[in-house]
Structure 1
């Protein structure tokens, strides 16, 4: 049987998931990844139910649940730590990015070829070329043009995982004036993240410098936030500019297709980027396994473009609210009012 050649550019979440979902008896798959080995440092990702179903199709949901943590509840908080709005997280599973990548890597068949190193020129003559190479995708640039180039936001993301689990009274997202800070359990550790406007970058952000700037910015936040930042170190932290992609009307054209951040990179405010990358990959793999190429890519466009573009927009809008500066007092008053109404509604339903 003649094997169809599939070149996957990018061996992150989307690329590995697709390699693990494609039928090894039908496809000759090669994954190109510039990173020589899987990362050792990374923050916790929340797996929503649809992403968990994708993990189940890859055969690794049980392992993700056993090595991750259940996300139950938190709160939107003021900088001092006072809760403004309770948030329930039933049904969500948290897993570190390095652990998720290791499990996805284990789901890739041995028949898949691996090529390490940066791809500056795309391989030619593939039956299908897949751009799973992130927000600065060369596949998107080469086939969708310069107008599709990634765009830096004004915001820096600084994050990490430290030892020790946080108190339930401290878990949640702290909203300040033009800045946010989040705390959540991550197995036996604490996942934390901060985002704010910064002139650092946009590329090659020095982690130590970013941490020092973050400690200064959050010096008047709650003791829990200050304690986390005092423990954070360059070895267990990451710092980078947040980039996004412009809207795209289609993710597939000809025999080229985009997945994950290459197609719809969004701000992290909804926590959906990794989830949607998984769903992209599993859906595309299933379609390619069952349908001819043209029909499969047309179905992928129908299933994924509108949903992910709406999430990209919603995430951007949420980021604008969370990182509000001049409108911060009105924003906080609205959040508190929503919280009070939610409590009254819950109280009436109990009685």
Structure 2
């Protein structure tokens, strides 16, 4: 039996590690010609850290990241809208919430991949169903045969475009800039989002004296003019926001900025297609508002391996995976999109009402939603 994973990102690498631990040999085909330390920061919530613990990776990942003590939402003057104390998450949900640079997480995962199983510069362009399995065609002219194909190649998945050409990414209504900067004079242990009329600004400590930040501005349609925004433009946009946001801008340089419009994937009706399975963002891409994109991909990996161990027929494993994962990933995608719509309100009157309502919500309301998101068993 041959198993091929398309995509060498977080979803593909974690899936390979999980399957290898379950005794399933697999090969990873990655479109990029080289593995480079790309990206900015991300959060791994308790559900993802529990999944990584199952793979024996939690301590190594934690050593490369930073435990978050709280998640606070503020208005542009720095007044609290909501507070969530994440320092109690280990007792409640079995793990901490952490922040980590994406490149550091990628390196930890790469270090656990079995030798000679990762192939670079392999952009999938076509797949061909044969009686004996699938024949994969790559842009360099090479081909490979496989019995089973796991698509972990992200929101713009080449595999999904082939089998579900109508399932295209949908714009979320806002654009985003991200970076990681050195902040030697700022001591921060909590993740913070600031909501205001100019947009949304988030800052997360990914390491001592290092802050990952993101800035989101609403736009009705994707606008290529944002591609040319500089730090100076963003300083002007967020000039009324509280400290330490001005200090963060002063530490930023144009070459550090990573810009992209925000997209997700409308929930799909299926993930399993015979001998093909969609994983991670290829099957259920979500907006980043709940910090669950990487988390759901990691969940996928552990759950798939668990099911693979217990089924004799791989096609049945794929169908069982689909049945288990669709309700949860639909929930995460839908809730995350709603959260973004609420956070991006920029009408002054509507934003004021939103803030008043959120401040009045009882703590048990937020705890109930967190429990549904984080209280997962593997």
Find the partner of 2:176 among 157, 167, 187: 157
Q: Post-superposition shift, 1:77?
A: 0.7
Matched residue SS, 1:109 = coil
Alignment coverage as a number of residue pairs: 336
Out of 310, 317, 331, which is 2:331 matched to? 310
Q: Answer yes or no: is 1:180 the counterpart of 2:203.
A: no
Matched, 1:94 2:115: no
Q: State the match for 2:90 in structure 1.
A: none
Supply the distance in 1 between the matched residues of 2:18 and 2:221 (Cα, whole angstroms): 39
Q: Distance in 1 between matches of 2:331 and 2:221?
A: 29
User: Do 1:70 and 1:94's aligned partners in 2 also have CA atoms closer than 8 Å?
Assistant: yes
Deviation at 1:8, TM superposition (A): 1.1
Equivalences for residues 167-246 of structure 1 within 5 A: 167-168=187-188, 172-177=192-197, 179-188=199-208, 189-198=210-219, 206=227, 209-246=229-266
The Cα shift of 1:9 comes to 1.1
Unaligned 5+ runs, structure 1: 344-351
d(CA) in 1 for partners of 2:54, 2:225: 37
SS across alignment from 2:241: coil
**TM-score under structure 1 length normalisation:** 0.88
Give the drift of 1:251.
0.8
Task: Kindly state the Cα deviation for residue 244 of structure 1 after the two structures are TM-superposed.
Answer: 1.0
Matches within 5 A, 1:1-351: 4-23=1-20, 27-90=24-87, 91-122=96-127, 123-124=135-136, 125-146=145-166, 148-164=167-183, 166-168=186-188, 172-177=192-197, 179-188=199-208, 189-198=210-219, 206=227, 209-291=229-311, 292-326=313-347, 327-338=350-361, 342=363
Cα pair 1:156 1:195 within 8 Å, conserved: yes
Q: After superposition, what is the alpha-carbon deviation per residue over 1:17-70, rounded to whole angstroms, capped at 9, x for unaligned?
A: 111122379644221212233342433222222211221233221111111111
Deviation at 1:168, TM superposition (A): 4.2
Which runs of 5 or more structure 2 residues have no equivalent in the other structure?
A: 88-95, 128-134, 137-144, 365-378
Contact 1:75-1:171 at 8 Å conserved across structures: yes
TM-score, reference length from structure 2: 0.82
For 2:223 and 2:278, the matched residues in 1 are separated by 24
Deviations 1:117-171 (A, max 9, x none): 422224434211111111111111111232x111223211211111126344985
Q: Secondary structure at the match of 2:270?
A: coil
2: CA distance, partners of 1:18 / 1:204? 38
Relative to structure 2, which stretch is displaced further, 80-89 or 309-318?
80-89
Deviation at 1:200, TM superposition (A): 9.0
Alpha carbons of structure 1 residues 141 and 41: separation in structure 2 relative to 1, 3 Å: closer
CA RMSD of aligned residues (A): 2.5
